[in-house]
Amino acid sequence: MTWGKGTTNNSIGWGKGADSNSISWGAVYPESLSGDTDIQSGLSNTVAPAISGTNEVGEVLTCTSGTWSGGTPITYAYQWKRDGVNIGGATNNTYTLISADAETDITCVVTATNAEGSNSATSNTVTIAAEGDADALAFISAAGITDPTQQSAVNQLVLDLKAASIWTKMKAVYPFVGGSASAHKWNLKDPQDTNGAYRLSFSGGWTHSSTGATPNGTNATASTFWEMNDVAGRVDNFHMSYYSRTQNPSGDGWVIGRGDTNDGDPLYGLAIKRGGSNLRIFDPANLFYRISSTETDGRGFYVGSATANNARVFYKNAGSIGSGSSVSAHATFTGYPVYLGAMNGPTVLYQNNECGFSSFGDGLNGTEVTALNNAVTTFQTTLSRNV
Amino acid sequence: MIVVKLTQAQADSLRGVEFIPDNFFNPIVDADGNWFISIEERDQCDIEWVKECEEIPYNPVQVNLF
């Protein structure tokens, strides 16, 4: 038999038994009360302690004492717990979440004490969110992304790229979240507001929205400030990617790349041509060298990648849609950084293909392209803008 | 497709000017030698004289790529 709370505070008497039709000595528990009364102190918790605050690492949680009945004065002590285990030194009514708390359940036990004794009650449980990746957080801060879904999508994108060991191969990653030029310009890989960080600079007519950025096909460009490094007049280790959201882009369809200094012919780039009929990745020296494929729908995730001179492949949604052989060298040139949304050169080539993601960097093999495609697909799905 | 015709002096005055945060005017020349900006730039900017400029059909410079 357990002594307990009576019908009034500090009373005992006949009470509810083990079943609804019996009574027993000892305790009468009014059903509105959740806590036991400590007989010695007479302390009973009538409103449970409550944790408030943001459930993210680095944030501060606060726990109320709850409401107690019993002899006064009453003092309160706090013990925070992680997955039911005491957290050392966490004995104030506030607690700053640390990395070890990510994806755990946090509770707080409040112990009320008066002159006669003490009694304890446990707070609600707060599940702590997975800790944000530092690179993702830097981008989210720079781009001013406040939407939790977008934040989560960016964080997962970074985690996926790192897990696949392709994060380090990226020079620039443009997620196009936030719906404005001021949000879309940032490079996830290096979110600094400088040309050297490959931060985009938008010129001409662009439409920025929650699904991406759309050049107008007449004068819109976005400079990446990336001057591809020609090695002996050839680039054998690079990739470019573009998440295309437009079925039939206008113009010649060059969505990313740069041309040469003579007549603007594309040397390196991806094209998703009008009518969905021809996709190309260009290589140097031979102006007619290209990898082509016939597509009926321009939408999808396109990657052009060279991992060696004789390993040049064009992918759509991770599937190879063409490959090329070795190419010869051409004269090196500078002064035409890669454009996004257009092809840079003495004559700029424009098109109007909405972009939901783009990247460039070192060459990716087939396995790595698959991993990139999976990461980008997850990213677009999370944002409900996959095509 | 329609674009907004400019004089060369007008184009020079707009080139590189930020018309919305982080998006800059980009006047270029069409196949007829006309300077122009896009409808998007005109509609998104708050420069009154730009909004009064003449609209013309877009006549792109043709490039023989291959």
* Residues A56-71 pLDDT 10s: 888 999 999 999 999 9
Contact of B59 with chain A, judged by CB distance below 8 Å, is answered with no
Across the interface, which of B3, B37, B40 has its CB nearest the CB of A206? B40
Residue that finishes a domain, picked among A95, A127, A159: A127
Evaluate whether residue B63 is within a structural domain: no
ipTM higher than threshold 0.85: yes
Residues from chain A that touch B36, judged by Cβ atoms under 8 A, are 218-219
Evaluate whether residue B45 is within a structural domain: yes
Q: Return the closest-CA partner of residue A252 out of A287, A226, A227, A280.
A: A280
Write down the residue that tokens 């040397």 correspond to: A267
Evaluate whether residue B66 is within a structural domain: no
- For residue A387, name the pLDDT band (cuts at 50, 70, 90): very high
Per-residue pLDDT at A33 exceeds 80: no
Evaluate whether residue B62 is within a structural domain: no
Evaluate whether residue B65 is within a structural domain: no
Higher per-residue pLDDT: A39 or A327: A39
Shared domain check, A76 and A224: no
Shared domain check, A12 and A48: no
Query: For residue range A109-150, what is the model confidence (pLDDT) as tens digits?
Result: 999 999 999 999 999 999 998 888 999 999 999 999 999 899
Residue that finishes a domain, picked among A103, A127, A151: A127
Residue that finishes a domain, picked among A74, A103, A127: A127
Contact of B39 with chain A, judged by CB distance below 8 Å, is answered with yes
> How many domains does the structure of chain A reveal?
3
- For residue A280, name the pLDDT band (cuts at 50, 70, 90): low
Q: Are A372 and A303 in contact (CB under 8 A)?
A: yes
Q: Range with the lowest mean pLDDT among A190-199, A320-329, A349-358, B51-60?
A: A320-329
Shared domain check, A97 and A34: no
Shared domain check, A354 and A243: yes
- The encoded tokens of residue A348 equal 């700029």
Shared domain check, A73 and A140: no
Shared domain check, A375 and A247: yes
Beta bridge pairs of residue A37: A44
What is the model's pLDDT at position A25?
37
Closest CA of chain A from B7, distance in Å: 16
pTM of the model: 0.75
Shared domain check, A186 and A101: no
**DSSP H helices in chain A:** 134-143, 148-163, 181-184, 366-382
Shared domain check, A67 and A140: no
Across the interface, which of A185, A219, A265 has its CB nearest the CB of B28? A219
CATH number of the domain residue A177 falls in:
2.60.120.200
Shared domain check, A276 and A233: yes
What is the model's pLDDT at position A355?
97
Evaluate whether residue B17 is within a structural domain: yes
Shared domain check, A233 and A110: no
Evaluate whether residue B44 is within a structural domain: yes
Higher per-residue pLDDT: B31 or A40: B31
Evaluate whether residue A387 is within a structural domain: no
Evaluate whether residue A215 is within a structural domain: yes
Shared domain check, A177 and A89: no
Shared domain check, A326 and A188: yes
What is the model's pLDDT at position A240?
92
Range of the domain at A16: 1-39
Nearest CA in chain B to A350: B60
If you write DSSP's letter for every residue of A250-300 in order, what string do you get?
A: -TT-EEEEEE-SSS--EEEEEEE-GGG--EEEE-SS-TT-EE----S---E
Contact of B2 with chain A, judged by CB distance below 8 Å, is answered with no
Range of the domain at B18: 2-57
CATH number of the domain residue A102 falls in:
2.60.40.2700
Higher per-residue pLDDT: A349 or B3: B3
> How many domains does the structure of chain B reveal?
1
Residue A126: helix, strand or coil by DSSP? strand
In sequence order, what are the residues at sequence separation of 6 or more whose Cβ sits closer than 8 angstroms to the Cβ of residue A41? A70, A71, A112, A113, A114, A116, A117, A118, A119
Per-residue pLDDT at B9 exceeds 80: yes
What is the model's pLDDT at position A309?
78
Write down the residue that tokens 């969905």 correspond to: A276
Evaluate whether residue A319 is within a structural domain: yes
What is the model's pLDDT at position A287?
46
Question: Average pLDDT for residues A93-122, to the nearest whole number?
Answer: 94
